[in-house]
Every structure is written in C-alpha cells, then in structure tokens.
C-alpha cells in the first residue's frame, strides 16, 4: 500500500514542480505565425531544351512526389518500384488485394464496395500538413473529415471498474472535474496565488471551474457533460453517477485520453474519400509509363557525374545511367544491396532502426457501434490490441471495416504470432468492449509492417534514448540527408526528424529537389 | 553450363510455384529471399539476414526444412530465426526446390569483415572446428558441416552465441544442432567466439 499524500504535501509538490512561476514566464514563441504557410512545392528551374535523367527508387509518397515535380519541369524520370503496387506504407486494402507480408501472405476478402477498405498504414491527414494537402488539392483528391477522438467511444482496462468498459466521456469528464477541484484548491492557497493579481487569479479560477464543471463551492459533484442517465430532451435530464477519482486513477490511460486532440492529432484530421491511397493513385495516373513495377534494385553506383542503378524485372537485369538518383529504399534494405556509398553514409544506414508498428482489421457484419451511439473515432483498451477504430466513412451502410488493433509502439508482440493467433488475440481483447464481438466480425486481415515484403519495417527510428537525439545521431542524420557526390539523395520519411507521416516524406523529397535544383542551375548557367 | 541448367530449372520452378487466381488476383511466388538476404543473397547486416550465395545446396535445404518443421527458429530468444521461421513454414517441397536452385544461380561475392579479434587465439580454437568444417573453413558434407569461410562474420557470431545459449540446436529433433551446441560451448565465452570468427575471416574464399 503506497503512502497517502496529504493536501499540504500535494501543494508543496505543485510548487516544487515550478508551479505558478513557470506559468508567468513570458511566452516568447507567442505571436509568431506558423511557418507551414510557406510555399508547398519547390521552385524548380524548367529545363527547357536541356536534358537531365533522374531515377527514383521506390514508388512511395516521397518518390512519387519527386517524380511528379521533376516531370513538370522537363526531367526524364523513371520510378523503380520493387513491389506490385506503389504507395509503400500508404496502403489501402480492399477486396482482392494482396497483403504481401513475408510468412503471412493474405488476400483481402472484404466485400467489394467503395467504403469497405482499410488504411493499413497512413490513415490521417492533419490540416497543418500543407505539403500533402497541396497535392490532394492539385491532383483533385477528394477529402473528408476523419473522426479521431470520439467521446462516445469506449475505454477499457481490466483494472478500471472491474474491467467493464466505460465511455470516454465519463472518464474524461470526471477526471477533469477532480483535477479542476484540486487546481482550484491549490489556487486558493496563499502560497500559490501570491504571484497572481486578483484579476488574474479570478480569470484563472474561472477557467478551472469551466475546465472541470465545478459547483458553486468549487467542488466537483458530477456534470451533465458526460450525458444523462435518462431524459434531457422532453423531461429534465438525470445526472449520471460519478465515478470516484480513486477508481479513475486505477488506469493510466488518461494520459492518452486527455491528449487525443493535441500534438499530431490536434489539428482537424482528414482522409481521402475511398482510401488513403487515392493520392498515390492520382500520382500514378500522372506518371503513366514512368513507373516500373516488380523492378527490384540490385545496385546503386554513384559516379562523379551521375548514378548507375542496376535492377531486375521479371528475371531480366537492366541498368539506368542517370544524372541524379532519389532513393527512398529503406536504409536497412539498402545495406544489403550493391553500392559504393562512403563509410560515414553506410554507418548511418546501419544505425537507423526499423519501426515495428502493427495493424489489423475486421469486416463487421453490421455497424454495431452505431447502435451504441458511436460514429467514427477510437475506443482505447489497456491491452496489446490497444485500439479499435470505427470508420468515419460509410455511416449507416450495412457493413463497415474496423481497425481491430494498432500497436504503434513495439508491434513485435503480435508480429511474432501466427495469423490465427493474432486474430484470436484481437477477438479476446475486443470482446471486453463489445460482448458479442467474435460473432459480429469476419474476414480478418493482419499486417506486421516489420515483415512486409520490400519494406521490412514501419517508420524509421533515429534516436534510441528517451532523452532525445544525441549529437552523433544528429550528425548521422545530416550525413544521410546530404547527397553523395551531389548526385544521390536519400529521401522518404526516414530522412526526417518526424517519420511516419506522409508530410515528412514529401518534405524530404522537396528538400532533395531544391538541393539538386541549385546544382542544375549552376551547371546550366 | 551449371548456371544455365540452374536457370532453366529455376524458370520451371518459378512457374510451378506461381499462383494465379481466377479473379485476377496479384500472382505470387515464394521467392522472397532477396528482400531480406540482399542482392544475390549477399547477406544484409541491416536486417541481420545471412549470406545465402555460396551456401551448399544440401545445407540450405536442410535448414529450410528445419525452419519449416519448427526445429529451428522457434526459440523465443532466437530473434532472427523467429523472423525466418514463419516464412519457411509456408514453403512446399516444390518451393524449397525452386529456392535452392535459385540461390545456386547467384554469384558469390566475398563478405566484408566487420569485426576484429585475436586471430592467433582464434586459430587455436578453430582446430576443434576444423575437424568437421575443414582446415580452410570449406565445409564437409560428410559431416553435415557447412562452409564457414566467406559467411558474414556477424552472422557466425550470432549463431555461435545462439548455439552456446541453446537458442539454436536445443530442439529434440535437431541432432546436428545438438552436436554443434557441444562444440560451440568449447569456445568458452563471447571473446572466444569473436576470436574464432576473426580467424575464419582470414581464411578467405574465392568461390
């Protein structure tokens, strides 16, 4: 049994943690306009009558964006894609699609309908990702709002309320209420309100009351914000019972629930209508004849005045002699190919670790979540499957595809299981929220990104310590970002400090294009 | 001539393992090897997948069969084996034939040494190994001992560690592995492993 903390001790803790002094520090960053409103594409020189041959390795978001821009400015560009499909980790799975996980090859058996798809990789576009949004606009990719946080979705933890799922809104309303009560008490104590003027303290107290919906005595006694136990429309609503703070503290999921609309998922999120790969398809359409599929790179040789790329397609070996090469092959795969990269480059390639993210999906025989007042959004579970996502698309249609698991941290737990074991694990986890779950879902697909053919990993991981990037890691990152001989560029979200986002992939490509453009301008001057 | 015959065999094998479903599904085959094991199976340190080029066909076949049967790659501490096992578990006899033939068609490129150790100490330790694997690490099919020279040194280190710890070779049906376990233990410790592999690095290989 842990020692109880008295109110006095708690207030001292607050003070020791910086308390109000920190809050009064001048916010230097305030007032600055966000830089993301800058130009969304690099201003490349039109080649005119000059010729430049470029080979792009990998037809993911970075490679296709690069090829598309180069094509607009007169470059002769070829994309080599090792797989049967473009997109890489922008992967929408539909009826009949091959999921080429090594050791767990599957064909998707979802019903053949436009809304029956699963975004197995990238799944959300934040409104601040201007470079990606620029392309969706320019390419005519129709977008819709994606529902990420849904207060009506469930929270389940075996340690919370005897394992019974509760609504997100119950958890967050009560937790915020109790937190506000503590904050209010802290503010009214002499030590802490000292730095505030009376007006400031009053304003702050007003926010605290509103944050937690405190009563007249600044106590939390429940809130209609969690909805009504009954009534609320034709008769007065009856307040739901409060869940005791001590009970709410039995789970540590609050840290996820209270920050669901912050950080990367803070902006309004969107998705292309019909699947995340609609942007990829639009690029492919505009790059017709320039993409070679099943074209597996064997070697990359950088010369002083260009790059030779050898690849194999249908058992035949080919070589492209290009002026420039944009390479989005994951660094951990490039290590195993023929190349003549300098030693510091190779050291960095070997250093980057591969991500382990894992996702699974079920076709639901009916949209049972809509009967529970849930339309889109995420239920959180404190078990390895972690999340259930309900589709924003296809509302009120007979069926839908739900995300059954998303292990975005160390996904090897499920990756190491057989396909059948994975499915059973997700059914077991999910039925803690939806009692008849295993009878409500069918046609599972599971995807361990660590084992996907031609990728063998989710997003690149550069830093290994919790304390952030080391100096050495910064140096290796800059090494891989810089071109070899001014001719070979690594691109992709792997060459960013914010991997796992399409925006990072595009920006890495634009960085490389801008750098190449400077060199081309100098040559042609 | 050998490579031409193998190429023809590969094409036949390739066709026989392809699956073309009626509703125009993406055709597939089991030739995944180079994704992990690198161009022409040269080995890829980036994903800890060893060199396959130059590996004896009998050894490759035996290991694929071991993986398929779960005799190898099922110990929870065998990280790399665990990645290989599910892939092999799905292989048909025809696919194994195809893969063995395909691997045999690749050009062998010598592995680059990545570690340094006490070569002299390693040479003394290697005398035990030489009994089965040959004085030049060339391997000996009679003793079911594969060639060691020319293999990626980091892979040899991992496998010796695995044998020593019982992550490999401890399966009741792995008689050859059990034999190797006993020998690996004679290297004593981590430094012994590094030294013996450093010596193997000096043996070179031209094939």
The whole domain housing B179 covers: 119-203
Question: Are residues B65 and B136 located together in one domain of the fold?
Answer: no
Q: Look at residue B17 in the predicted model and tell me its pLDDT.
A: 42
Give the residue from B76, B104, B132 where a domain finishes.
Answer: B104
- In this structure, is residue B91 part of a structural domain? yes
Count Cα atoms within 13 angstroms, Cβ side, for B105.
18
Domain count, chain B: 2
Does residue A282 surpass a pLDDT of 50? yes
Q: How many inter-chain contacts (A to B, CB under 8 Å) are there?
A: 77
Do residues A512 and A483 touch, judged by C-beta distance below 8 A? yes
Question: In terms of pLDDT, which residue wins out, A411 or A12?
Answer: A411
Domain end: B79, B104, B129, which one?
Answer: B104
Closest chain A C-alpha to B127 CA, distance in angstroms: 32
pLDDT for residue A410 is more than 90: no
Within its chain, how far is the Cα of A11 from the centroid?
37
pLDDT given at position B197: 97
- Dump pLDDT digits (tens) for B29-78: 999 999 999 999 999 999 999 999 999 999 999 999 999 999 999 999 99
- Residue A143 near chain B (CB below 8 Å): no
So what's the pLDDT on residue A137?
97
Q: Which of A107, A333, A454 sits opposite B25 (nearest CB)?
A: A107
Establish if B143 belongs to a structural domain: yes
Same domain, residue pair B75 and B130: no
Cα distance from B142 to chain A (closest Cα, Å)?
Answer: 32
- Which of A85, A103, A453 faces B89 most closely, judged by CB atoms? A103
B18 touches A at CB < 8 Å: no
Classify residue B134: in a domain, yes or no. yes
Judge whether B76 and B158 are in contact, CB under 8 Å: no
How far is the C-alpha of A501 from the C-alpha of A276, rounded, in Å?
A: 12
Chain A CB within 8 Å of residue B81 CB: no
Contact A332 B46 (CB under 8 A): yes
B95 contacts chain A (CB < 8 A): no
Q: Please indicate whether, in this complex, the C-beta atoms of A335 and B90 are within 8 angstroms of each other.
A: no
CATH assignment, A167-250: 1.20.1440.240
User: Is B109 within a domain?
Assistant: no
pLDDT for position A197: 83
**Residue written as token pair 């006694």:** A221
Please identify, among B104, B138, B164, the residue that sits at the C-terminal boundary of a domain: B104
A354 touches chain B (CB under 8 A): yes
How far CA B161 is from CA of A243, A328, B166, B188, B193, in Å, comes to 53, 34, 8, 11, 8
Chain B residues within an 8 Å CB radius of A345: none
Contacts of B25 in chain A (CB under 8 A): 96, 98, 107
CA distance B14 to A158: 50
> CA–CA separation, A398 vs A367, rounded Å?
6
Q: What is the pLDDT of residues A149-207, one digit of tens each?
A: 999 999 999 999 999 999 999 999 999 999 999 998 888 775 555 677 888 888 989 99
What's the confidence (pLDDT) of residue A224? 95
Cβ-nearest to B35 among A104, A298, A456: A456
pLDDT band at A409, cuts 50/70/90?
confident
Query: What CATH class is the domain A92-152+267-276+356-451?
Result: alpha beta
Q: Are A86 and A59 in contact (CB under 8 A)?
A: yes
| Contact between chains at A104 and B32 (C-beta distance less than 8 A) | no
Q: What is the pLDDT confidence band of residue A467, given thresholds at 50, 70 and 90?
A: confident
- Is the pLDDT score of A86 beyond 60? yes
Task: Find the helix or strand (DSSP H, E) in which A325 lies.
Answer: strand A324-327
A464 touching B (Cβ < 8 Å):
no
Residue B110 located in a structural domain: no
Question: A395 vs A110, A145, A376, CA distance in Å?
Answer: 17, 13, 9
Tokens of A1: 């049994």
What pLDDT, in 10s, does the model give residues A101-142?
999 999 999 999 999 999 999 999 999 999 999 999 999 999
What is the mean pLDDT of the segment spanning A284-291?
Answer: 98
Q: Where do we find the tokens 């920006």? A: A507
Strands of A394-497 (E only): list them: 400-407, 441-448, 458-461, 488-490
Identify the closest residue of chain B to A416 by CA–CA distance.
Answer: B82
- What is the pLDDT, as a whole number, of residue A38? 56
- The pLDDT-based confidence of B24 (bands split at 50, 70, 90) is confident
Closest chain B residue to the Cα of A94, Cα to Cα? B25
Residues B198, B125: one domain?
Answer: yes
Please give the DSSP secondary-structure letter assigned to residue B31. Answer: -
Does B37 contact A336 at a Cβ distance shorter than 8 Å?
A: yes
Average pLDDT (A341-365) is: 97
What's the confidence (pLDDT) of residue A3? 55
Look at A23 and B87; give whichever has higher pLDDT: B87
Residues B32 and B88 in one domain: yes
pLDDT of residue A425: 98
Residues B15 and B97 in one domain: yes
The nearest alpha carbon in chain A to B81 belongs to A416
Q: Which residue from A98, A333, A453 is facing B46, i.e. has the nearest CB?
A: A333
pLDDT greater than 50 at residue B117: yes
Q: Does any CB of chain B come closer than 8 Å to the CB of residue A331? A: yes
B25 at A interface, C-beta within 8 A: yes
Contact B47 A418 (CB under 8 A): no
* CB contacts, 8 Å: B26 with chain A: 84-85, 97-98
Rounded to whole angstroms, the Cα distance separating A406 from A378 reads 11
ipTM of the complex, rounded to two decimals: 0.88
Considering only CB atoms, which chain B residues are within 8 Å of A334?
46
| Yes or no, beta carbons of B86 and A335 under 8 Å apart | no
> In Å, how far is A490's CA from the nearest CA of chain B?
16
Q: Which fold has domain A49-87+278-353+468-524?
A: FAD/NAD(P)-binding domain (3.50.50)
- Give the residue among A88, A40, A148 at the shortest CA–CA distance from A503: A40
**Nearest CB to A105 within list B28, B47, B85:** B28
Q: Are residues B100 and B123 in the same domain?
A: no
- Ordered by start, the domain boundaries in chain A are 49-87+278-353+468-524, 92-152+267-276+356-451, 167-250
Q: Tell me whether residues A102 and B35 touch, CB distance under 8 A.
A: yes
Q: Do B90 and A296 touch (CB under 8 A)?
A: no
| Residue B129 and residue B91 in one domain | no
B82 Cβ under 8 Å from any chain A Cβ: yes
Mean pLDDT of A71-81: 98
Contact A336 B44 (CB under 8 A): yes
A258 touches chain B (CB under 8 A): no
Number of C-beta neighbours around residue A9 at 10 A:
11
The single residue listed with the structure tokens 């998705």 is A271
Per-residue pLDDT band at B23 (split at 50, 70, 90): low
Q: Work out the number of other CB atoms within 10 angstroms of the CB of residue A120.
A: 25
| pTM of the model as a whole | 0.91
Are A452 and A101 in contact by the 8 Å Cβ rule? The answer is: yes
Read off the CATH number of the domain in which B35 is found.
1.10.760.10
Q: Cα separation of A201 and A212, whole Å?
A: 16
Residue B3 has a pLDDT of 44
Provide the pairing of β-strand A53-57 with A324-327. parallel
CB pair distance less than 8 Å for A100 and B39: no
Q: How confident is the model at residue A6 (pLDDT cuts 50, 70, 90)?
A: low
């Amino acid at each position: 049994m842990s020692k109880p903390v008295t109110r006095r001790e708690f207030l001292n803790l607050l003070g020791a943690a910086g308390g109000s002094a920190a809050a009064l520090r001048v916010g230097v960053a305030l007032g600055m306009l966000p830089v993301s409103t800058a130009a969304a594409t690099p201003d490349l020189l039109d080649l005119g009558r000059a010729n430049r041959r470029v080979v792009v390795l990998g037809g993911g978001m970075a490679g296709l964006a690069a090829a598309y821009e180069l094509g607009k400015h007169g470059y002769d560009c070829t994309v080599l894609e090792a797989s049967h499909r473009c997109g890489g980790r922008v992967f929408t799975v539909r009826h009949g699609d091959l999921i080429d996980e090594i050791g767990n090859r599957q064909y998707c058996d979802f019903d053949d309908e436009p809304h029956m798809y699963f975004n197995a990789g990238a799944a959300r576009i934040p409104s601040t990702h201007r470079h990606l949004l620029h392309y969706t606009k320019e390419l005519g990719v129709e977008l819709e709002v994606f529902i990420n946080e849904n207060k009506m979705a469930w929270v389940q933890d075996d340690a919370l309320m005897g394992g019974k799922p509760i609504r997100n809104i119950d958890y967050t309303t009560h937790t915020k209420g109790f937190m506000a009560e503590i904050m209010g008490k802290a503010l009214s104590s002499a030590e802490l309100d000292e730095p505030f003027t009376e007006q400031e303290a009053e304003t702050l107290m007003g926010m605290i009351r509103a944050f937690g919906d405190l009563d007249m005595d600044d106590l939390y006694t429940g809130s209609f914000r969690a909805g009504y136990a009954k009534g609320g429309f034709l008769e007065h609503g009856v307040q739901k019972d409060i869940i005791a703070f001590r009970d709410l503290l039995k789970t540590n999921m609050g840290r996820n629930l209270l920050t669901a609309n912050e950080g990367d998922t803070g902006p309004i999120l969107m998705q292309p209508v019909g699947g995340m790969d609609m942007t990829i398809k639009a690029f492919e359409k505009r790059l017709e004849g320039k993409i070679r599929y099943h074209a597996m790179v064997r070697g990359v040789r950088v010369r002083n005045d260009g790059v030779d790329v050898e690849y194999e397609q249908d058992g035949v070996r080919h070589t492209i002699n290009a002026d420039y090469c944009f390479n989005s092959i994951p660094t951990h795969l490039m290590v195993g190919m023929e190349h003549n990269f300098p030693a510091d480059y190779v050291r960095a390639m070997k250093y980057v670790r591969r991500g382990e993210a894992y996702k699974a999906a079920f076709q639901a025989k009916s949209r049972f979540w809509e009967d529970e007042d849930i339309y889109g959004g995420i239920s959180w579970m404190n078990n390895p499957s972690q999340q259930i996502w309900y589709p924003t698309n296809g509302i009120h249609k007979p069926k839908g595809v739900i995300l059954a698991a998303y292990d975005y941290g160390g996904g090897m737990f499920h990756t190491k299981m057989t396909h059948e074991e994975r499915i059973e694990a997700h059914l077991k986890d999910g039925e803690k929220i939806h009692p008849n779950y295993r009878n409500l879902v069918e046609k599972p697909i599971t995807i361990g990104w660590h084992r996907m053919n031609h990728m063998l990993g989710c997003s690149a991981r550069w830093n290994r310590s919790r304390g952030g990037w080391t100096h050495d890691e910064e140096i290796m990152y800059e090494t891989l970002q810089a071109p070899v001989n001014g001719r070979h560029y690594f691109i992709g979200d792997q060459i960013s400090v914010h991997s796992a986002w399409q925006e990072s992939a595009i920006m890495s490509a634009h960085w490389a294009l801008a750098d190449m453009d400077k060199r081309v301008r100098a040559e042609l001057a | 001539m050998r490579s031409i015959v193998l190429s023809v065999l590969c094409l036949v094998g390739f066709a026989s393992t392809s699956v073309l479903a009626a509703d125009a599904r993406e055709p597939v085959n089991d030739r995944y090897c180079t994704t992990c094991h690198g161009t022409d199976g040269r080995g890829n340190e980036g994903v800890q997948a060893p060199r396959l080029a130059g590996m004896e066909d009998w050894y490759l076949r035996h290991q694929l069969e071991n993986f398929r049967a779960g005799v190898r790659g099922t110990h929870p501490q065998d990280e790399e084996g665990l990645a290989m096992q599910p892939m092999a578990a799905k292989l048909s006899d025809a696919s194994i034939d195809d893969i063995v033939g395909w691997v045999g068609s690749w050009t062998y490129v010598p592995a680059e040494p990545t570690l340094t150790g006490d070569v002299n100490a390693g040479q003394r330790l290697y005398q035990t190994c030489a009994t089965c694997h040959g004085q030049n690490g060339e391997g000996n099919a009679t003793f079911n001992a594969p060639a060691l020279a020319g293999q990626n040194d980091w892979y040899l280190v991992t496998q010796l560690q695995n044998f020593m710890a019982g992550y490999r070779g401890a399966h009741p049906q792995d008689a050859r592995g059990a034999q190797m376990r006993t020998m690996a233990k004679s290297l004593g410790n981590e430094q012994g492993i590094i030294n013996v592999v450093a010596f193997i690095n000096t043996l070179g290989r031209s094939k």
